[in-house]
């Protein structure tokens, strides 16, 4: 089950630091880090361990199947971030 980072994201790195699959981007050393409003999960690399969910201080990480309706569009926003990078 893929995970999505939604609107409340404050890009504080908490989820990034606990991810064993290193699938959350951008990382602080990525060129787009300073211009990105939030973090994103690469569904093709995610191992569904859920470590990012409790690590998020603002509860912005959701399983796609549990993504609140008001943030459903973040599933496509998240996927679009990785288009062309695979």
User: Per-residue pLDDT tens for 24-72?
Assistant: 999 989 998 888 889 999 999 999 999 999 999 999 999 999 999 999 9
Please report the pLDDT score of residue 12 as a whole number: 86
41 φ/ψ angles, rounded to the nearest 5 degrees: -105, 125
Burial class (CB in 10 A: 0-12, 13-18, 19+), 2: middle
Sketch out the chain's domains with CATH numbers.
Answer: 3-82 (3.30.70.20)
Please report the pLDDT score of residue 85 as a whole number: 63
Please report the pLDDT score of residue 84 as a whole number: 66
């Amino acid at each position: 089950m893929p995970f999505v980072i939604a609107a409340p994201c404050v890009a504080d790195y908490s989820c990034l630091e606990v991810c064993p699959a290193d699938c959350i981007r951008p990382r602080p050393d990525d060129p787009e880090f300073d211009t990105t409003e939030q973090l994103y999960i690469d569904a093709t690399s995610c191992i569904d361990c859920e470590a990012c969910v409790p690590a998020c201080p603002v509860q912005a990480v959701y399983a796609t199947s549990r993504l609140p309706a008001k943030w459903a569009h973040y599933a496509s926003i998240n996927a679009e971030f990785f288009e062309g990078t695979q």
